[in-house]
Every structure is written in C-alpha cells, then in structure tokens.
Amino acid sequence: MARPDLNLLVTLDVLLAEGSVARAGHRLRLSPSAMSRALARLRATTGDPLLVRAGRGLVPTPRALELRERVSHLVQEVEAVLRPAEQLTLNQLVQTFTLRTSEGFVENFGPALIARIALEAPGVRLRFVQKPDKDSTPLRTGSVDLETGVVEATTAQELRVQALFNDRYIGVVRRGHVLTKGRITPSRYAAGRHICVSRQGLEKGPVDEALEPLELEREMVTIVGGFAMALALARASNLIATVPERHTGILRTGMHSFALPVSTPEFTVSLLWHPRWDADLAHRWLRGCVRDVCTQHLARMERSGKKKGQPRTVGL
C-alpha cells in the first residue's frame, strides 16, 4: 500500500476550514488549477468527494464534517512538534542530568554548580559519576548527558566540544617536605620518590618526556588511578604527586604546591556532549551553568592567589 502524502493534511485542513476552493487556494498561495488538483488528490485518497456543489457554493459531506476537527488537531500537533521550542520554564523543570567527570571536578566546581542549579531550577537534580576511561559510548547511548575531559585522538568525532579552561601540571608535597625549601631544580625534583597517576597503569607521561633530554628519570614508587589518591598519599608521606593545578585546587588544601622545574605543555579541559542534545533548551541551559561556574570559580582562585602574592600563570 502506497504511503499517503502527509502534506495533504494541511491542504485538507484549510479546505475544510474555508469551505471554498478559491479561499483555500488563496491561503495556501496556490493557483486555482493547483488547488483543484489538490482537491482531486484528496478525494482519491479519502474515497470521498469532501466538498460538493450546493447552488453557487460548496458544502462539506458527512465524511468531511467528521474529519474536520480531527484533521485540525493533527495539523496543530504536527506544527507544535516541528516548531522550535521558544522558552524554558526553569522553575517548572523536573529532570535528572548525569555528568561524568574526572577526579577533582566535583570537589572544585560541584558545590557552586549545585547551588546555581538549586537557585534557578529547584526540580533539577545532578548525578555525578566517575570517569574510569575515555570511552564515548555513554554519551552516544544517552546514559550520560555531559562529560568533562581532555579531547584526544580517540574522542568520538561527532561529539560537541566546548573549552572550559586551560590547565598545567604542578608538583605537590606535604607541608614540611624537603622540597618546600630552596630552589627546585630538575635534578632535585627527579631525585624524589614519585606517585604516578594513570588510569591505564602507564609509568611515564609528559613530565618524563620533558626530563629525558636532561638525562633525568623519576623513581615511581607507586601507581594510582586518580588525582585524589595521589594527593592523599603525598599528604601522608614524603612522596611527590604531580597533578593538574586547576583541576585539584580544593584537593590540595593544606599542602605545598610548586611549579615544575621543566616545561610541559598546557592542556584544555573541555565539556563534551552528544549532538542529539545540541538544540535541547534544558541541556543548553545546563551547559551554560557549567561554563559560568567554572569561569567564576577560577576567577575567584585567581584573585585569591594574587592576594597571597602567588600570581597564577595559567590563562583561560
């Protein structure tokens, strides 16, 4: 069976509303001949004459009267589906969003983000889940709404990406550690006992690549899967943790942080989502909240660091 032309619904709706081929053609901007052909197609499709001559005018058939209200509702529904959403009533929004983030993001940005959401949309709840890998499947399947991380070659090409902030690696030790005093040279830094952070269990990274031309190598005492674990170990021992500066601000409270004595490339922490949510108003609002909270939090950190005489060198 051939599929009916759904465009005929709009034509039928106008015809039944006007009760006149001429007036319907004028509304639809169709010539009289084109309108007559459309009526002929409608009659063939429905198996009913729909409009019949009565004196000098046309009157609807019983079938047309039966269809008039149903067709009108159908056309209104279709138009509503295809019409872009015009506004979002945040105080009536009830939804749970899932965010997949690396360690440190929730601790640093979570409180301000939750407070912002509660103020603007009390019915919205955030669900934070850990990011054990860089697999894009959760974003593709819709089990995760947003993700934060560093875009790499393995990141799915169809994902949308918005930069949040730049970051760099720094060294962190406990208060009273030998590296809290004196100038930290590459050899002093490399001679310490280090914690390696790697979800894949790798023992080398950008810092080790920067030390290689100097013929220096770090001694990796242990390997952990996240920044929080690395900082917890460094806080309770003489081990050295090397972690992202901005991503671990709260986690490093009470510890001594220092710039690395070798140059390592900065990297960008981004917000990632699947294109299916690109135009969704609620999702766009949430993305804006995350961006604003990150910008505001880092600006406060910047001002705080300057007041303490520790100007930051990492720019947005």
Q: In three state form, how does the secondary structure of 223-282 look?
A: EECCHHHHHHHHHCCCCEEEEECHHHCHHHCCCEEEECCCCCCCEEEEEEECHHHCCCHH
Looking at the fold, whether 76 and 135 belong to one and the same domain comes out as no
- Domain boundary (47, 82, 117) is at 82
Reported as a single tens digit per residue, the pLDDT across 117-176 is 999 999 999 999 988 787 888 898 889 999 999 988 778 888 999 999 999 999 999 999
267 has which bridge partners? 167
Looking at the fold, whether 145 and 204 belong to one and the same domain comes out as no
State both tokens at 72. Answer: 């009108």
Instruction: Return d(Cα 53, Cα 269) in angstroms, integer.
Output: 71
In single-letter form, the type of residue at position 240 comes to: I
Is the pLDDT reported for residue 309 higher than 60?
Answer: no
**pLDDT for the residue 314:** 36
- Of residues 82 and 35, the one with the higher pLDDT is 35
State both tokens at 171. Answer: 């060294």
Q: What string of H, E and C letters represents the secondary structure of 71-94?
A: HHHHHHHHHHHHCCCCCCCHHHCC
Looking at the fold, whether 51 and 185 belong to one and the same domain comes out as no
Looking at the fold, whether 279 and 155 belong to one and the same domain comes out as yes
Instruction: Return d(Cα 95, Cα 145) in angstroms, integer.
Output: 12
Looking at the fold, whether 153 and 288 belong to one and the same domain comes out as yes
Determine, yes or no, domain membership for 316.
Answer: no
Looking at the fold, whether 64 and 122 belong to one and the same domain comes out as no
Is the pLDDT reported for residue 299 higher than 70?
Answer: yes
Instruction: Return d(Cα 45, Cα 8) in angstroms, integer.
Output: 9
Looking at the fold, whether 163 and 173 belong to one and the same domain comes out as no
Of all residues in the chain, the percent with pLDDT exceeding 70 is: 93
**pLDDT for the residue 307:** 57
Determine, yes or no, domain membership for 19.
Answer: yes
Give the number of domains in the chain. Answer: 3
Looking at the fold, whether 120 and 241 belong to one and the same domain comes out as no
**pLDDT for the residue 2:** 61
Looking at the fold, whether 63 and 181 belong to one and the same domain comes out as no
Q: What does pLDDT average to over the chain?
A: 88
Determine, yes or no, domain membership for 238.
Answer: yes
Could you report how far apart the first and last alpha carbons of the chain are, in Å?
60
**pLDDT for the residue 305:** 64
Is the pLDDT reported for residue 24 higher than 90?
Answer: no
Determine, yes or no, domain membership for 1.
Answer: no
Determine, yes or no, domain membership for 21.
Answer: yes
CATH of the domain at 102: 3.40.190.10
- Please report which confidence band the pLDDT of residue 207 belongs to, taking 50, 70 and 90 as the band edges: very high
Looking at the fold, whether 65 and 210 belong to one and the same domain comes out as no
**Mean pLDDT over residues 44-66, rounded?**
87
Is the pLDDT reported for residue 308 higher than 70?
Answer: no
Owning domain of residue 153? 90-167+268-307
- What's the pTM? 0.70
* Bridging pattern class, strands 146-149 and 267-273: antiparallel
Reported as a single tens digit per residue, the pLDDT across 241-254 is 999 999 898 899 99
Looking at the fold, whether 238 and 284 belong to one and the same domain comes out as no
State both tokens at 166. Answer: 């730049």
CATH of the domain at 76: 1.10.10.10
Looking at the fold, whether 182 and 253 belong to one and the same domain comes out as yes
- Of residues 297 and 234, the one with the higher pLDDT is 234
